[in-house]
Copies of this chain bind each other. A is one copy, B any other.
Amino acid sequence: MAVHRIVVDVMLKPEILDPQGQAVANALPNLGYAPPVDLRIGRHVELALEAPDADAALEQATKIADTLLANPVIEDYAVRLA
């Protein structure tokens, strides 16, 4: 059993409004930056899991993402080795 480091990125689905990202996008011109074409904010989760191999760790992380880290109704997630 080795420790595998995995990253899960969780984002609101494209059709779901992102008020946090919109607030940051609206703040940029006030700080002297050009307005961004797009800006969305999600969660970045760094996990270290004990598993026999990388595939098993990815499978476990995907289950965790689906049940606990993301709300699959409104969010998409991507799981990858760090």
Instruction: With A31-B67, A33-B64 as known contacts, state yes or no: A44 contacts B44, CB within 8 Å.
Output: yes
A74 at interface, CB cutoff 8 A: no
- Residues on B with C-beta less than 8 A from A46 are 11, 38-42
* Count class of interface residues, chain A: 20 to 34
Residue from B9, B31, B50 within 8 A of A37 (CB atoms): B50
The docked-state distance in angstroms from the alpha carbon of A6 to that of B65 is 23
**A48 and B43 contact, CB distance less than 8 A:** no
Other-chain contact of A27, B37, B42, B68 (Cβ < 8 Å): B68
Q: Can you report 6 residue pairs joining A to B where beta carbons are below 8 Å apart?
A: A11-B44, A28-B64, A37-B49, A38-B48, A39-B45, A43-B43
